[in-house]
Amino acid sequence: MSGVLKRVLALVAAVAMVVVALQVRDRGGDDGDGGGDASSGGTVLCVPEVEQVCRALAEEDPDLEVTIEEAGTTFERLSTAGDADDVDVDAWLAPAPFPAMVDGARAATGLDPLFGEASPVLARSPLVLVLWDDRLAVLEAACGGEPDWRCIGELSGGTWADIGGQSSWGRLKPGHGPADTSATGLLVLAQASGQYLGRTDYASNDFADPGYRAWLTQLEDAVPTFTPSAGTPLDQLLFSGPSSFDAVGSFEADAGPAVSTSRDADRLSVLYPEPVTTMDLVAAPVAGRDRGEDVRDLLEDDAPALLAAAGWRVAGQDPVEGVRADVALPDSSNLPSAGVLQALRSTWREVT
């Protein structure tokens, strides 16, 4: 059985589990303790990283409306919204830093917080680095071991021939999503910055360091852009081959299954740069909206099985093909605070 078919069957099985859960909830009615169908329906805003999961939820619950929007776009929009009445969503399914980033930006301009109490972490996925094996061998020699983002940034100003690679490869072409719009792009950049600075508890004033800014500028100047794009940098790499990117940052739930089932699986490696950094998903309800907590509870109940089938790590769920169960996750995400991430987003804009 192919890896693609296994993944499809896993997602179908997870959808079936959700259907059963919804039917049980509907039959249960309202017993006076807040149960019944109160958690069905409403509007959920989802980052593209979980689009297929949110679409599957909507297919099984016709009352649930789903909107897909890049995390950075949502951040800009909700940071300046007047109050809950001005927001057309009940809950946001996104990586944990983003709801706090929105409320932090709102507080800086005198606006009230927008989000209520978020769910516990629903699923996790470590950030990864996907490279072509022939490039990886050259980078291992040039970096003195497994390459990380610091070394890739330091080498990004030159050509492959400069570091022992083939001249036909041209210049070193790293890739990650745009840090001002993509959740993955910002979190990969946060991991890369921690690797350059040598710690995960860095602060926004570290971004003013001339050495850091020179490294970041050199890294970002080497990132190619494509018009039209095949999608994410990982999509582009898998579609166009090494002519597009030599190495890209992504997250395991996307990269692991995609690489393991691709036509180039035997030519690609998926690395887990140290310290392992994770994308942790939460459902954050909009405070003051009647359906906010209901949608949060719906996601907390029904999304985990679908997330596991889509390649996310969920406690108690078996991993799908391409998910490295032997790679342990840290207790925390190893990401900086929401305020530092917001400052990093602004710094990225300044240098690009």
Q: What is the pLDDT of residue 289?
A: 85
* pLDDT at residue 188 in the model: 98
pLDDT of residue 109: 96
Question: How far apart are alpha carbons 39 and 187 in whole angstroms?
Answer: 31
Tokens at 88, concatenated: 């057309």
Q: Cα torsion for 23, 41, 55, 51, to the nearest 10°? A: -130
For every residue of 101-120, DSSP letters joined together read: HHHHHHHHTTPPP-B-PPPS
**Same domain flag for 185 and 239:** yes
Q: Does 317 reside within a domain? A: no
Q: Are 49 and 251 in contact (CB under 8 A)?
A: yes
Residues 302 and 155 placed together within one structural domain of the fold:
no
Q: Report pLDDT for 150.
A: 98
pLDDT in tens, 27-49: 333 443 434 444 457 999 999 99
Same domain? 136 vs 248:
yes
**Does residue 326 lie in a domain region?**
no
106 & 141 share domain? no
Same domain as 217, residue 151? yes
| Residue 345 CA to its chain's centroid (Å) | 15
Phi and psi angles of residue 337, each rounded to the nearest 5 degrees, phi first: -65, 165
Which pLDDT score, from 0 to 100, does residue 40 have? 56
Q: Would residue 240 count as lying in a domain?
A: yes
140 & 244 share domain = yes
Decide if 66 is inside a domain: yes
Q: Kindly state the greatest CA–CA separation across the chain.
A: 72
Q: Contact, 115 vs 287, CB < 8 A?
A: yes
For residue 204, tell me if it sits in a domain.
yes
Closest CA to 98 of 215, 187, 194: 187
DSSP 8-state code for residue 91: E
pTM tops 0.85 = yes
Residue 220 within any structural domain of the chain = yes
- How many domains, the chain? 2
Task: Give the per-residue pLDDT at 226.
Answer: 82
Pair (107, 245) in one structural domain: no
Do 96 and 208 lie in a common domain?
no
Calculate helix-pair angle for 51-60, 3-28, nearest 10 degrees.
40
Please check whether residues 284 and 272 belong to one and the same domain: no
Q: How many residues does the chain have?
A: 352
Q: Are residues 18 and 71 in the same domain?
A: yes
CATH of the domain at 49: 3.40.190.10
Q: Please identify every stretch of the chain with a pLDDT value under 70, giving residue numbers as ranges.
A: 1-40
Domain, as residue range, for 27: 3-124+279-309
Mark whether 227 and 295 lie in a shared domain.
no
**Separation of alpha carbons 219 and 173, rounded Å:** 9
